[in-house]
Amino acid sequence: MSNKYKMFIDGEWVDSSTNERLETVNPYNQEVWATIPQASNKDIDDSISAARTAFETIWKKISGAERANMMVKLADLLDQEAERMSILETTDNGKLIRETKNQMHFSAKGYRFFAGLTDKIYGEVIPLENQDLFDYTRREPLGVAVLITSWNSPISLLTNKLAPALAAGNTVVIKPSEHASVTTLELGKLVEKAGFPPGVVNIITGDGRVGDYLTKHPNINKISFTGGTETGKRISRNASENLVPVTLELGGKSPNIIFEDAEIDRAVTGAVAGIFAASGQTCIAGSRLLVHRPIYNQVLTKLVEKAKTIKLGNPLDPTTEMGPAANEAQYSRILSMIEAGKESGADLVLGGNEVNGEGLEKGYFVPPTIFANVENSMSIAQEEIFGPVLSVIPFKDEDEVLQLANESKFGLASGVWTTDMRKVHRLSREIQAGTVWINTYRTAAPSAPFGGVKMSGYGRERCIQAIHDYTRIKNVMINYAEDDRDPFSMQTK
Ligand code: NAD
């Protein structure tokens, strides 16, 4: 028996106007456990016009404090429903229940963080040379924001977009990934309960065709996208049709660097967190482990020992440490990248094969996989795998490690393990990435900026500044001089 989900448009729960549906598969047992609508172009048009009407007639007129009340209610509901929501998300994408539950509470924090900003969005008074001119700025919402997310952390990634968009006074059309839409649709029920007026939050589902039509739409004012780099480029091209501003949170191939002077055991734990958490299906995966030559063998031995003990299993079991890949396409891609690694001549020191074991028969399981003596130019060191596959690369000194770290088309995150403060500051300055973690990895806060450089995208989420991505500045200039002016020359004083 599968659950038949509906979309949320203008406060109503609706099917696709064509009745087309997509199946959603539990990656742990390959069972179809739910179906979601494939939105038609008409549904997309409806959702955008609902968002537009809600923006013009209600949302831009109410106070920040009122928006904040609803956002805090939504946060409370997410906390209350964390257990149920996390079971659904784990069933949808195979992510560990301990992680999905944590992400529900983290998302609640995100809504509270941005709720606190709703009444702090204001302009400036600008002193001008001409004292008879009064100049000030207003920060205004953009209008209708389109929010598109990937399947690996649907609720958490959406929070990074929805919370600042609503806080700044925008209305939204959300499109989650076709591989994991259920919790986003469930969030619609919480949005209703929290009292948001109809049309402020609209949720439509479907595959890339829906995203394509949405991002070309002439009646939208902002796009925020989390997903793969190739899709990000396509969206950026679509957005250029109507000059719609875009935030892009894309892929990564992040370096995690261990120096000889590091606390080795903690660094090894950090390496495990970097690549095997979420079965490596995280944009910030520390998938290139760069290790100082004097400790290379020691680190590799400890890492392999630790990775061997990782418990694969049902992601709903709280003791499981690694679940399956989230879907069949992802599973096949990871396996083909492992084959590429074997062919490239890197040393496969752990995993790399099919997984057998009780309870693992039907899931898309890939074991923790470690390649040693990888060259940075190999495809396993350059391409995002988005799976539990680590490339371990030796380095001789600080200059070489910086070169290796930055020799990547991506620049999302990075980690440095050292006890030397001079290295901390030098590397933090020189590494080309949106985040540098020192003696930690995969650590997040709603107030800490998150985003990438190079092919990892642009724009920042989660921080105070993120709210500015959902506002524009208007300048207002008031003349209260008594005298007349020369009409044929621009007044510059
Ligand atoms: P994807 O790019 O295949 O899909 C992401 C979303 O885009 C989905 O909702 C999909 O339906 C939609 N889409 C597909 N084609 C589209 C088109 N032509 N126009 C508009 N929308 C379209 O990515 P994915 O496989 O869902 O997610 C994995 C990728 O996401 C990885 O590269 C990962 O690094 C990245 N990611 C980045 C972050 C970050 O914050 N930087 C976080 C998580 C995941």
Mean predicted confidence (pLDDT) in 315-337: 95
Q: Which of 249, 321, 398, 461 is catalytic?
A: 249
Atom 13 (ligand 1) nearest CA = 208
> pLDDT category, 1, cuts 50, 70, 90?
low
Q: Can you tell me whether residue 433 is helix, strand or coil? A: coil
Mean predicted confidence (pLDDT) in 187-202: 98
- The model's pLDDT over 201-246, given as tens digits with 9 standing for 90+, comes to 999 999 999 999 999 999 999 999 999 999 999 999 999 999 999 9
Q: What pLDDT is attached to residue 100?
A: 98
**Distance of CA 286 from the midpoint of ligand 1 (Å):** 19
**Distance of CA 151 from the midpoint of ligand 1 (Å):** 8
> pLDDT category, 484, cuts 50, 70, 90?
confident
- The model's pLDDT over 90-142, given as tens digits with 9 standing for 90+, comes to 999 999 999 999 999 999 999 999 999 999 999 999 999 999 999 999 999 99
Q: What pLDDT is attached to residue 130?
A: 94
**Distance of CA 329 from the midpoint of ligand 1 (Å):** 13
> pLDDT category, 470, cuts 50, 70, 90?
very high
Annotated catalytic residue 283: yes
Mutate to test the pocket of ligand 1, among 231, 386, 458 (most ligand atoms within 8 A of CB): 231
**Distance of CA 306 from the midpoint of ligand 1 (Å):** 31
pTM for the full predicted model: 0.97
- The model's pLDDT over 13-52, given as tens digits with 9 standing for 90+, comes to 999 999 999 999 999 999 999 999 999 999 999 999 999 9
- The model's pLDDT over 453-464, given as tens digits with 9 standing for 90+, comes to 999 999 999 999
Q: What pLDDT is attached to residue 356?
A: 82
**Distance of CA 228 from the midpoint of ligand 1 (Å):** 4
Task: Work out the percent of the chain whose per-residue pLDDT is above 70.
Answer: 100
Atom 9 (ligand 1) nearest CA = 177
> pLDDT category, 299, cuts 50, 70, 90?
very high
Q: Which of 81, 186, 283, 461 is catalytic?
A: 283
Mean predicted confidence (pLDDT) in 387-395: 98
Q: What pLDDT is attached to residue 2?
A: 73
Domain ranges for the chain: 3-250+452-475, 255-438
Of the candidates 64, 48, 160, 149, the residue with the CA atom closest to the CA atom of residue 460:
160
Q: What distances in angstroms separate CA 131 from CA 67, 313, 425, 475, one per listed residue?
A: 37, 71, 46, 17
Domain 3-250+452-475 has CATH 3.40.630.30: no
Ligand 1, pocket residues at CB < 6 Å: 148-152, 157, 175, 177-178, 207-208, 211-212, 215, 226-228, 231, 234-235, 249-252, 283, 384, 386, 412, 452
Q: Do domains 3-250+452-475 and 255-438 have the same CATH topology?
A: no
- Residue 483 pLDDT > 90: no
CA 492 to chain centroid, in Å, comes to: 45
- Residue 154 pLDDT > 70: yes
Task: Work out the percent of the chain whose per-residue pLDDT is above 90.
Answer: 96
Atom 21 (ligand 1) nearest CA = 211
CB 321 within 8 A of CB 290: no
- Residue 289 pLDDT > 60: yes
Q: Which atom of ligand 1 is nearest to the CA of 452?
A: 41
> By mean pLDDT, which of 65-74, 255-264, 324-333, 354-363 is the weakest?
354-363
Q: What pLDDT is attached to residue 355?
A: 87
* Mean pLDDT estimate for the chain: 97
> pLDDT category, 493, cuts 50, 70, 90?
confident
CATH class label, 255-438: alpha beta
**Distance of CA 152 from the midpoint of ligand 1 (Å):** 9
- Residue 256 pLDDT > 90: yes
Mutate to test the pocket of ligand 1, among 149, 157, 177, 282 (most ligand atoms within 8 A of CB): 177
Atom 31 (ligand 1) nearest CA = 228
- The model's pLDDT over 415-426, given as tens digits with 9 standing for 90+, comes to 999 999 999 999
**Distance of CA 232 from the midpoint of ligand 1 (Å):** 7
Residue 189: CB atoms within 10 A of its CB come to 13
Task: Give me the DSSP letters along 380-394.
Answer: HHHS---SSEEEEEE
Q: What pLDDT is attached to residue 213?
A: 98
Q: What pLDDT is attached to residue 357?
A: 86
Mean predicted confidence (pLDDT) in 430-435: 98
